[in-house]
Amino acid sequence: SQQGEEDPQALSIQEGENATMNCSYKTSINNLQWYRQNSGRGLVHLILIRSNEREKHSGRLRVTLDTSKKSSSLLITASRAADTASYFCATDAQGGSEKLVFGKGTKLTVNP
């Protein structure tokens, strides 16, 4: 299976701290995406990084991709209570597949 696996499963930090979540996957990919899900809501796209990119920034988000290790990390800097959510990585499969397969997510709690 190409499913990504996030690590840790749960993370609890204080407001203002940085949060780092990791994702590992098994097959070669075209791109890797990170999504956020607030409790009881749908998933929301955060950032997409292509297989030929190594790092990408969007506001307080920083994503890295290491294709040799088949891993990615999502860093949220200066976290806020509103960042409390589950975060998922999703990968497609190199070779033309349009399927996007999600990991089981990291549940982040930011305490005020």
Partner 1 sequence: DAGVIQSPRHEVTEMGQEVTLRCKPISGHNSLFWYRQTMMRGLELLIYFNNNVPIDDSGMPEDRFSAKMPNASFSTLKIQPSEPRDSAVYFCASSLMGAAVTGELFFGEGSRLTVL
Quick one: 98 or 112, whose CB is closer to partner 1? 98
Binding mask 60-89 for partner 1 (x = CB under 8 A): ----------------------------x-
Host H or E run for residue 11: strand 10-14
Question: Does residue number 21 form part of the binding site for partner 1 (CB under 8 A)?
Answer: no
Two tokens at 95? 């070779």
Minimum CB–partner distance for residue 72 and partner 1 (Å): 15
How big is the site for partner 1, counted in residues (CB under 8 A)? Answer: 23
- Rounded CA-CA distance 58/46 in Å is 8
- Going by C-beta distance under 8 Å and a sequence separation of 6 or more, which residues neighbour residue 90? 4, 32, 33, 34, 35, 100, 101, 102, 103
Interface residues toward partner 1, by CB under 8 A = 30-31, 33, 35, 41-45, 48, 88, 90, 92, 96-105
